[in-house]
Amino acid sequence: MADWSSYRLEDFLLFAPRAYWRLFELHNAALWPVQPFILLLGLGVAALVLRGAPRAGRLGFALLAAGWVAVGLLFFWQRYASINWAAPYLMPVFLAEAILLLLAGRGAIVPAAARWRFREWAGAGLVFFALALHPLLPLVFGRPLAQAEMIGLAPDPSAIATLGLLCLIPRGLLSGLALAVPVFWCLVSAATLHAMGEGQALVLLAAILVGLVAWALPPRGAPRGGKADAGPIRT
């Protein structure tokens, strides 16, 4: 039996990096021109959240939940499964996350930006990065923009945006469970990218760090003594 210590992470890759990035190019071409509409819709919801619109938070969670369903069905089932046999087994995880987001966002009230502290601003920063900056990463890492990854179409930005959005509502059991899935996926994706020799893996690790630290901080209005979960919490 071969010594397992002799294996490296890249030895477990089921596909070539070129095939992986080509998937996003094909995915974007098949769904064009939905990408500009996603960007405009996301920026519109973000503006409502910043203004403290009463139902903006619920709308954001509902749209992000729809994005997880779309990623599970359109990307994992129709695209990623063609080069990775494990993709169909991950699809139910994405569908379960959509349900968790709907439950966590039900009745959740996001405070207006004027009342935000570091926790909320860090979360908003993750959402903005996932929406507007993550699609530009191909240019940073020497790939064509046609391989851009967008919220609701690709798993990585959807997971990063979820980490951020969950920092805008109080902590609770449902929000904690909803947080576990994007953390899990970011770890899986970071390992995959690292195995391919892609520096983009660091982006996902940074998102996990920022998201977990921000989520662990007390939300706006919570006691300073670290008892953010005391009393009834809307999730």
Alpha helix ranges (H) inside 73-135: 87-105, 118-128
- How many Cβ atoms from other residues are within 10 Å of residue 82's Cβ? 13
pTM of the model: 0.88
Closest CA to 58 of 126, 99, 110: 110
- How many Cβ atoms from other residues are within 10 Å of residue 222's Cβ? 19
CA distance 23 to 195: 17
Q: Using one digit for the tens of pLDDT, what is the confidence trace for 152-204?
A: 999 999 999 999 999 998 888 999 999 999 999 999 999 999 999 999 999 99
How is the chain split into domains, by residue range?
A: 33-216
Residue with tokens 């369903």: 69
Would you state the torsion angle of the CA atoms of residues 175, 100, 65, 226, taken in this order, to the nearest 10 degrees? 0
Average pLDDT (199-217) is 96
pLDDT at 16 over 60: yes
Question: Is residue 149 helix, strand or coil?
Answer: coil
Q: Using one digit for the tens of pLDDT, what is the confidence trace for 70-127?
A: 999 999 998 999 898 888 888 889 999 999 999 998 877 777 777 889 999 999 999 9
